[in-house]
Structures are given as structure tokens and as C-alpha cells.
Amino acid sequence: MPDGQRSSTARVVAPASPRKLAKVPFVELADGRLQGVVSSGSDIARVYVSSVAAGTFAYTCSTNNNRPCGGAYGGFCNHIRALIGEAVLQYGAGRVARYMRVEPVEADSPAQSVIAPMAQTRPVPGDKSAAASVFSRFLRQLAYLEMAPTTAPLPEMQWFPPTRAVA
Ligand SMILES: [Zn+2]
């Protein structure tokens, strides 16, 4: 067994399916929301911070510079749909549906099986203040990528392992 696995107490859980990190570098089920960061399709320097609240499906989407997303009027924009799709890859459709409190429907893809019933409720825009906290969680996660590789436990990582954020 490699040293990293033998000496670490943290269990590393592989995503349910491979994800496209370049498109959606960050996705999590946390703070009562499905939330994350989605790359802009056209501008490499721009990202969108998107979220959907569990239960109400109230959504937010804005750029990292706090500009509202032009596509997020009157429904889920493409960023939010991409984010939900990646969450389904990361966590599996069943777990995303349970966290969001939505009943999955028959659909062409696992992602659509949870996106469609949420979109059907005609959700409304939610509280924009979520974006700052989502983006800071993303930056904090990036900071860990820049740390020197080590096999020593990082105590603060125990606060937000992706597998325990979900009830
Ligand atoms: Zn958007």
C-alpha cells in the first residue's frame, strides 16, 4: 500500500463517475444548497458562481466579479444545468435528489432526471449573498491544491470532507 494511504486517516471517496474539472472545477452539496463554480464557455478568465437551494430550488448565478448571469432570468441557466449535471456525476443522481428533496423522473439522462422536476416547479431567483461564500469555499479548496504534498493529516480538512456534508 502506498505511504499516503497507509498513514492517512481520511477516507478518500472517488466520484461516482469521472467529472470534467475544466468545465465545473468545484461542486458540492453544502449549506442546504447544491453549489459550485462553472467555467464560462467563452471567456477563459471568467467563472460563474452558481447555486440551487434544496427544497425551494431558488437559484443564483453570477460571475466571480458579481455580475448577474444574463441567462439566469426566469429559470435555470446553462451554468446551473451544467452544475447539477456535474453534481450527479460526483454524487450520483439518487444522492443529489435526496439532498435537494426532489423526486427524480424518467428522463434521457441521470442529470435530466433531477433537473427536469426542479425546473418544472418554476423556481425563482434566490438570495445572492450565497455567491461570496461559495466562491470563498472554492478558493480555499484551491489553496489546498497548492500545498506541498504531505502524508500528515490536515486537521482542518476534517471540517468539510465532501462525503460528510450530505445528510
Ligand atoms: Zn448562469
Distance 6 CA to ligand 1 centre (A): 42
Whole-number Å distance, alpha carbon 116 to ligand 1 midpoint, is 17
Cα of 72 from ligand 1 centre, angstroms: 5
Burial 7-45 (b: 16+ CB within 10 A, else e): ebeeeeeeebeebeeeebbbbbbbeebbbbbbbeeeeee
What gap in Å lies between CA 111 and CA 165, rounded to an integer? 20
pLDDT at position 1: 53
User: pLDDT tens, position by position, for the chain (167 residues)?
Assistant: 555 455 445 555 667 777 777 789 899 999 999 999 999 877 878 899 999 999 999 999 999 888 999 887 889 999 999 999 999 999 999 999 999 999 999 999 999 999 999 999 999 999 888 888 898 888 888 887 777 777 777 665 555 445 544 44
| Å from CA of 137 to ligand 1 middle | 19
Residue 162 CA to ligand 1 center (angstroms) comes to: 24
What is the reported pLDDT for 108? Answer: 94
pTM tops 0.85, yes or no: no
**What residues pair up with 30 in beta bridges, in sequence order?**
33
Ligand 1 center to 60 CA (angstroms): 8
Domain ranges (residues) in the chain: 15-133+147-159
Q: How far does the centroid of ligand 1 lie from the alpha carbon of residue 160, in Å?
A: 26
pLDDT at 7: 47
Distance CA 76, CA 79 (A): 8
The Å distance, Cα 28 to ligand 1 centre, comes to: 17
